[in-house]
Amino acid sequence: MIKYVLILFAISLSACTTQQDLRPPAIIKSEAMLYQGIKAYQQEHYHLAIQLFKKSHMLYQSIDDQKGQAIANYNLIEAALAVHQLALVKQTINQLDPSDNKSQLLARYLFANKNYQAALLALPQTSNNTPDLNQDLIRLKFAIFAKSTLVESKYKAIKEQFDSSNKAQKALFNRLESLIAVQNNQPEKALNLLKNSLSYYKSMANRRAIATCLQEISIIYSLQKDPKNAEDTLKRALLIRTWLKDGLKIQKLQGLLRQYSNKSTTKNHTN
């Protein structure tokens, strides 16, 4: 999303000057609609952002602006991924021209559908001459979920070059390390890593990341045979997913909480 936000801001700044914008109204309106979508996305109003990006795409389409249509579609996919509207994601990806950006979005779509092996294979290859830590972290994440043999080598390579001054990357790396710690039967280490990431996400008020981290923490509590903390943490995640109107995640969390409720009821009846 960030790449296209920057493109849009560059466009918008020209419209914020004291000089009168003499461009055709259709162009101004298309850009204004796209900018409104960006603002809605930044404020985590993803459903509103989706509608605004759709309208922006239609406006760009009406003046045959191919670049504008592509930017609107890329942003539409980001907003749809944020609330797991996966049918819309797939439909919009199919409209994009082949590129590394398209491959990246396709990989994320496959990952969201839990098709981890295909997601890992769909990631665009990175150049050894221009290392990209963000891409390396994504590749490590996909490799862990795909149970790939690449995990150990990727983890060691990232560990050697990692710069802990980037707090966002550090938070993600902590979460990936926590997955490896769980696989190595180190739940306490995993829990501490996740709590550090959660503190960062809270400081940034990043609702999606907070909810995801809470869900990951709940899994650790479950592994530690601590159902009360596991359930309480899931409830906190559900409140955030409900605010975000993320239907797929809401359904999943409600199902998990019903399982805890049923276990509690069965235990009480047994006693």
Across residues 4-13, what is the average pLDDT? 47
Residue 183 corresponds to which amino acid?
A: Q
- Phi-psi group of 241: left, alpha or beta (phi > 0 → left; psi -120 to 50 → alpha; rest → beta): alpha
Question: Domains along the chain?
Answer: 1-94 (no CATH), 163-271 (1.25.40.10)
| pLDDT of 111 | 98
What's the token pair of residue 29? 């309106």
Distance CA 111, CA 119 (A): 5
Q: How confident is the model at residue 130 (pLDDT cuts 50, 70, 90)?
A: low
Q: How many CA atoms are closer than 13 Å to the CA of 82, on its beta-carbon side?
A: 26
User: Whole-angstrom Cα distance, residue 233 to residue 227?
Assistant: 10
Residue 49 CA to residue 77 CA, distance in Å, equals 10
Whether pTM exceeds 0.95: no
SS (H, E, C) the chain: CHHHHHHHHHHHHHHCCCCCCCCCHHHHHHHHHHHHHHHHHHCCCHHHHHHHHHHHHHHHHHCCCHHHHHHHHHHHHHHHHHCCCHHHHHHHHCCCCCCHHHHHHHHHHHHHCCCHHHHHHHCCCCCCCCCCHHHHHHHHHHHHHCCCCCHHHHHHHHHHHCCCCCHHHHHHHHHHHHHHHHHCCCHHHHHHHHHHHHHHHHHCCCHHHHHHHHHHHHHHHHHCCCHHHHHHHHHHHHHHHHHHCCHHHHHHHHHHHHHHHHHHHHHHHHC
* pLDDT averaged over every residue in the chain: 90
Task: Please check whether residue 253 is in contact with residue 243, taking contact to mean a CB–CB distance below 8 angstroms.
Answer: no
Q: Are 135 and 163 in contact (CB under 8 A)?
A: no
Asked if residue 7 has pLDDT above 50, the reply is no
Contact yes or no for 233/216 (Cβ under 8 A): no
Residues in the chain: 271
Q: Do the beta carbons of residue 257 and residue 235 sit within 8 Å?
A: yes
Q: What is the pLDDT of residue 49?
A: 97
Q: Which pair of tokens denotes residue 136?
A: 């390396």
At residue 10, the pLDDT reads 43
Closest to 33 measured CA to CA, from 99, 62, 18: 62
Give 193-247 pLDDT, tens digit per residue. 999 999 999 999 999 999 999 999 999 999 999 999 999 999 999 999 999 999 9
